[in-house]
Chain A
Amino acid sequence: MSRIGVFVCHCGTNLASVVDVEKVAAAARELPGVSYAAEYKYMCSEPGQQMILDAIAEHGLKRIVIASCSPRMHETTFRKMLKKSGVNEYLLEIANIREQVSWVHTDSGVATEKAVDLVRMAVAKVAKDEPLKASSIPITKRALVVGGGIAGIQAALDIADAGHEVWLLEREPSIGGRMVMLDKTFPTLDCSACISTPKMVDMSAHPNIKLLTSCEVAAVRGYIGNFTVTIRQKAKYVNQDICTGCGNCEEKCPVKVKSDFNKGLSDRPAIYRLFPQAVPAKPVIDRAHCLKLTKDRCGLCEKVCPLGCIDYADEDREYDETFGAVVLATGYGLCDWTAMYDEYGAGRFADVIDGLAFERLVNASGPTEGHIVRPSDGAEPKTVVLVKCVGSRDPKKGKPWCSRACCMYAAKHAHQILEKIPGARVFVFYIDVRTPGKNYEEFYDQTRKDGAVYVRGRVSRIYKEGGRLICQGEDSLLGKQVRVAADLVVLETAMEPAAGARETAALFGASADANGWLQEAHPKLRPVETQAGGVFLAGTCQGPKDIPDTVAQASGAAAKAIGLLNKDEMETSPMIVAVDEAKCSGCGACVDICPFGALSLEILTAREGRWERAERFVCKVNAGLCQGCGACTVACRTGAIDLRGFRNVQILEEIDALWT
């Protein structure tokens, strides 16, 4: 007798409202090997677990099936529970009758029939389960943070303060990300640079943090606890060890390139630092624009450098490092409205700018030293139109999401214009005003009291008339077309996932959703974890958010990484392959298939007598390398290699159970 116990969960009403749970339990009692079946409101709760433990003791149950939510949700919960019971925690199967039945089917009869089928499959499988024991591997006590914006900075500082080594990798020549581009931050109006640059300096001075700028992740091998990451260090052409950041080279460089950091509102040389407070505070050469590197002319920077730091022969190089935990903080980009909004001039009008360009205009360390002026003629604008939801909440443009921060930064822009330009008029075109955050609604309210005019509607067209920009749109509260003649138009454009974020995440085994935001393991209960163990999410890479939420999530991700790094060893899944040496013919087909190099052929002495010695090849499994994919089992001609927990016989029993 298998002495199988089946426990059917109601999940409150999640399951029981569609599936006839009593009928499922009754059907389970009739299945071969089942000696006990019961149902209960919440199996995962403490009384639910106690009920299972009591039933195990009372009925001498040897194997357990739980019909409940997805095994991805509570398999570990129930395994932990079984550890207290004396039943091996791997003699457990979960029938997923919530995500696969009650939540996706409405007809109770059909759903109950399917639930019984799934329980029947689980019972058939559990009957062939074997007791397994987890082994452990050492953890590399070092974290990698990918992305040096405020999320990455916060996560790195938290992990480093907890006493662990952290490497922070940033693809730009300086850390700081988007936050250092901003002027003031809502709703408190504290200066963005004043609160973020001290953190950047803390970072560079922290004994546990190693800063890698102009770097990218080229490749990743390994898993949670031990990721081997190939880091690509892009050539900087300036010896960073000697350079003091004196700035002679930047002054003398004859090249003028539009500054990305200033959103094209000013120029920078080809040898440059991203912004004056850059960390590290040392210049790099932009190889695409340097005359020496492109045309072998000039060479001025080399001549003026007092320390001989310039190295035109510098090359990109790659090297491998191992990390135990990874925090992805790849951030966001602004959507390129010029490619999407022909009706707004598609970039033809110099005085139609995006919100980030406005941040640079109004920033004291920006190209105009904080004077709000029209980019076209440098005149002070008297009427400014702010257009919200440009690229956000616009399914027709392929961006259905709300960018969350725009309502508030638009209010902040309105406030700043009204404050800095006496007599200015500000019109804000909006669909809805969303201000969910502490003191946000109050800030928005104050902006309206200060004189900002909110017009409910989308701007349908922007065109030029007599040197002014006419913004035409419907005021949907009045039900009328309105036209506003503006001197400056600021488009509060959508956040979108940073370029390359999806690809970088994929290297670590993490995925992105349909819109390209990185996917959390569970939208509510595991918001900073990914499906890839040991890979955590911080900040806007996971979805649009403002600075407080970003920082909070970064600390959450850091806590997860610290929790992992605090362990010396990590349990590994015992669900790996095992070889039946008696059956193995030593053909080696499995060895070629294994992507992890976990299988090898070794010599087995089959027989040893006085005059004879029979040797043959057999396959050996390296338990530390095997990840349990089971690809080799299909290639094995003799059926000698099998995957524990998903053995051939178990899957065949599952199939057979459906048609008995």
Chain B
Amino acid sequence: MDVANRTNTAAGGEPKILAFCCNWCTYTGADLAGLNRMKYPANVRVVRVPCSGRVNPQFILRAFARGADGVVVCGCHPGDCHYATGNFFTRRRFMLMRGLLEFNGIDPRRFHARWISGSEAAKFRDFVSEVCAIVKGLGHE
């Protein structure tokens, strides 16, 4: 998978970051960021999922294969999952995922996970900005 060459940054454009956000916490937090008119880079595209535990590793690989410059998975804080245990699975999968990405030749710094609650609008803004800066810094491999 020659991923790096397909990324938007490689083509000189703005990087695109795909964000999987759980409906109950992070999607709500992102909405709150909007409500508070917080500003963050426009590079992020959010896919709404019911729970971060719904995010199949296949989705992440597909995003990188298609040309994503970065992928993030966000959910409720551990212990606060709307479905009790979904984000525990996310946490375990995340650790394995980084290894799998590296094995596939994708810089694991392009993949991040963060717990952002429905009230942590500023955290969402900061996280998106941070990942965007990291991905821009990585540029063309």
Interface residues of A, Cβ cutoff 8 Å to B? 70-73, 96, 98-101, 103-107, 110-111, 113-114, 117-118, 121, 506, 509, 511-514, 519, 523, 531-532, 575, 593, 595-596, 627-631, 633-634, 643, 646, 648, 651-652, 654-656, 658-659
Besides A117-B45, A511-B117, 10 other CB < 8 A contacts? Answer: A70-B34, A71-B48, A96-B48, A99-B30, A100-B34, A104-B38, A511-B118, A513-B119, A630-B51, A658-B18
Contact A655 B59 (CB under 8 A): yes
What CA separation (Å) do A70 and B62 show in the bound complex?
26
Interface residues of B, Cβ cutoff 8 Å to A? 14, 16, 18, 23-25, 27-28, 30-31, 33-35, 37-40, 42, 45-51, 53-59, 62-63, 66-68, 79-80, 82-86, 89, 93, 117-120, 125
Contact B49 A531 (CB under 8 A): no
User: Could you write out 11 A-B pairs with CB less than 8 Å apart?
Assistant: A105-B39, A105-B42, A107-B42, A519-B119, A595-B85, A628-B50, A630-B50, A630-B51, A646-B49, A651-B56, A658-B18
B99 CB, nearest partner CB in chain A, Å: 17
Instruction: Return the 9 tightest CB-CB contacts between A and B, nearest first.
Output: A99-B34, A630-B54, A629-B83, A103-B34, A631-B53, A659-B66, A629-B51, A513-B119, A595-B84
Q: Contacts A99-B30, A99-B33, A511-B80 given: A531-B45 contact, CB under 8 Å?
A: no
Contact B35 A103 (CB under 8 A): yes
Contact B45 A634 (CB under 8 A): no
Contact B82 A593 (CB under 8 A): no
A279 CB, nearest partner CB in chain B, Å: 35
Q: Contacts A509-B82, A519-B118, A629-B86 given: A104-B54 contact, CB under 8 Å?
A: no
Number of CB contacts from chain A to chain B under 8 A: 139
What CA separation (Å) do A118 and B23 show in the bound complex?
16
Residues of B near A114 (CB, < 8 A) are 42, 45
Q: Of B38, B39, B86, which is in contact with the most chain A CB atoms at under 10 Å from its CB?
A: B86
A553 CB, nearest partner CB in chain B, Å: 19
Partner pick for A104 among B14, B39, B119, CB 8 A cutoff: B39
Nearest neighbor of A105 in chain B, beta-carbon distance:
B42
Partner pick for B39 among A106, A113, A118, CB 8 A cutoff: A106
What CA separation (Å) do A581 and B54 show in the bound complex?
21
What CA separation (Å) do A627 and B89 show in the bound complex?
16
What CA separation (Å) do A634 and B88 show in the bound complex?
13
Residues of A near B80 (CB, < 8 A) are 506, 511
Partner pick for B31 among A70, A110, A634, A654, CB 8 A cutoff: A70
Partner pick for B24 among A96, A531, A631, A633, CB 8 A cutoff: A531
Residues of A near B49 (CB, < 8 A) are 630, 646, 651
Residues of A near B93 (CB, < 8 A) are 634
A648 CB, nearest partner CB in chain B, Å: 6
Nearest neighbor of A70 in chain B, beta-carbon distance:
B31
Partner pick for A656 among B58, B62, B119, CB 8 A cutoff: B62
B32 CB, nearest partner CB in chain A, Å: 8
What CA separation (Å) do A394 and B66 show in the bound complex?
50
B111 CB, nearest partner CB in chain A, Å: 14
A103 CB, nearest partner CB in chain B, Å: 4
Contact A121 B51 (CB under 8 A): no
Nearest neighbor of A111 in chain B, beta-carbon distance:
B42
What CA separation (Å) do A70 and B46 show in the bound complex?
12
B66 CB, nearest partner CB in chain A, Å: 4
Nearest neighbor of B32 in chain A, beta-carbon distance:
A99
What CA separation (Å) do A596 and B82 show in the bound complex?
12
Contact A654 B47 (CB under 8 A): yes
Residues of A near B62 (CB, < 8 A) are 652, 655-656
Residues of B near A523 (CB, < 8 A) are 35
What CA separation (Å) do A331 and B85 show in the bound complex?
29
Contact B53 A634 (CB under 8 A): yes
Residues of A near B54 (CB, < 8 A) are 629-631, 633-634, 643, 646
Residues of B near A113 (CB, < 8 A) are 42
Nearest neighbor of B79 in chain A, beta-carbon distance:
A506
Contact A72 B27 (CB under 8 A): yes
Q: Contacts A531-B118, A655-B62 given: A96-B50 contact, CB under 8 Å?
A: no
Residues of A near B45 (CB, < 8 A) are 114, 117-118, 121, 658
Contact A631 B86 (CB under 8 A): yes
Nearest neighbor of A631 in chain B, beta-carbon distance:
B53
Q: Contacts A595-B85, A630-B51, A652-B62 given: A512-B31 contact, CB under 8 Å?
A: no
Partner pick for B66 among A73, A101, A118, A658, CB 8 A cutoff: A658
What CA separation (Å) do A106 and B125 show in the bound complex?
15
What CA separation (Å) do A523 and B38 show in the bound complex?
16
B121 CB, nearest partner CB in chain A, Å: 9
Contact A659 B83 (CB under 8 A): no
Contact B89 A631 (CB under 8 A): yes
Residues of B near A655 (CB, < 8 A) are 18, 47, 59, 62-63, 66, 68
Contact A658 B16 (CB under 8 A): yes
B44 CB, nearest partner CB in chain A, Å: 8
What CA separation (Å) do A68 and B33 show in the bound complex?
16
What CA separation (Å) do A593 and B92 show in the bound complex?
13
Contact B66 A656 (CB under 8 A): yes
Nearest neighbor of A652 in chain B, beta-carbon distance:
B62
What CA separation (Å) do A101 and B42 show in the bound complex?
8
Residues of A near B48 (CB, < 8 A) are 71, 96
B58 CB, nearest partner CB in chain A, Å: 7
What CA separation (Å) do A99 and B26 show in the bound complex?
13
Contact B46 A96 (CB under 8 A): yes
Residues of B near A654 (CB, < 8 A) are 47
Contact A629 B46 (CB under 8 A): no
Residues of B near A651 (CB, < 8 A) are 47, 49, 56, 59
What CA separation (Å) do A513 and B120 show in the bound complex?
8
Contact A634 B35 (CB under 8 A): no
Partner pick for B37 among A104, A596, A643, A656, CB 8 A cutoff: A104
Contact B66 A630 (CB under 8 A): no
Contact A631 B83 (CB under 8 A): yes
Contact A648 B56 (CB under 8 A): yes
What CA separation (Å) do A100 and B117 show in the bound complex?
16
What CA separation (Å) do A212 and B85 show in the bound complex?
31
Residues of A near B59 (CB, < 8 A) are 651-652, 655
Q: Of A113, A628, A651, A654, which is in contact with the most chain B CB atoms at under 10 Å from its CB?
A: A651
Residues of B near A575 (CB, < 8 A) are 50
Q: Contacts A110-B42, A117-B45, A595-B84 given: A99-B35 contact, CB under 8 Å?
A: yes
Contact A514 B120 (CB under 8 A): yes
Residues of B near A101 (CB, < 8 A) are 42
Contact B46 A646 (CB under 8 A): no
Partner pick for B34 among A104, A106, A111, A634, CB 8 A cutoff: A104
Residues of B near A629 (CB, < 8 A) are 50-51, 53-54, 82-83, 86
Contact A593 B24 (CB under 8 A): no
Residues of A near B55 (CB, < 8 A) are 634
Residues of A near B86 (CB, < 8 A) are 595, 629, 631
Contact A104 B40 (CB under 8 A): yes
What CA separation (Å) do A633 and B119 show in the bound complex?
28
